[in-house]
Structure 1
């Protein structure tokens, strides 16, 4: 699947993998979520695509540039860009800052296509 199309639990799963974490996508009652099993704590939901307190440290550590831009229709969109990585230069755009950061991290680690 193209990284531009990743969202929800699958985007969270691939972000976890890019961060070196062990995670899996779970499904129950028609809902999907990304879950990690933390030693001595147990299973935890991992949702960087919806939680800036998880995705912001990723952006800071990877030295991503993030900035807002207004679309022609007046709506706000966010750009996340890896300008400072000498081996990978990419940019992702989304209505959500956290989604743009996560997609950029996945593409930086695995390229623009991943298996779902």
Structure 2
């Protein structure tokens, strides 16, 4: 699957893998979520694509730059770019800056395609 198309629990799963975590996508009652095992806490719901407390430290540590851009029709989209990384340069785009950051992290570690 193309990283630029990842969203929701699948995106969260791949971010967890990129961050070196043991993760799995759980499904119940028509819902999907990413679950990781944190040694000091236990099993937690991991959702960087929707949680600034997770996405922002990733962006800061990886030195990603995020900035808005106006699309045709006046909609705003967010770009996450790895300008300061000498070994990887990429850009990901989404209506959410958190999603763009997460996609960029996955692309940095796994490339532009991941297994379905």
Q: Distance between the aligned counterparts of 2:98 and 2:58, measured in 1?
A: 10
Match of 2:59 in 1: 59
Query: Following superposition, which runs of at least 4 residues in structure 1 exceed 6 angstroms of deviation?
Result: none
Cα deviation 1:33-54 (Å, max 9, x = unaligned): 0001223532110000011111
Q: Distance between the aligned counterparts of 2:35 and 2:49, measured in 1?
A: 13
Aligned length: 116
Ranges in structure 2 where 5+ consecutive residues have no aligned partner: none
Q: Distance between the aligned counterparts of 1:69 and 1:7, measured in 2?
A: 20
Given that 2:4 and 2:103 are in contact with CA atoms closer than 8 Å, whether structure 1 keeps it comes out as yes
TM-score by length of 2: 0.96
Match of 2:14 in 1: 14
Helix, strand or coil: the match of 1:93? strand
Q: Quote the RMSD (CA, aligned, Å).
A: 0.9
TM-score by length of 1: 0.96
Ranges in structure 1 where 5+ consecutive residues have no aligned partner: none
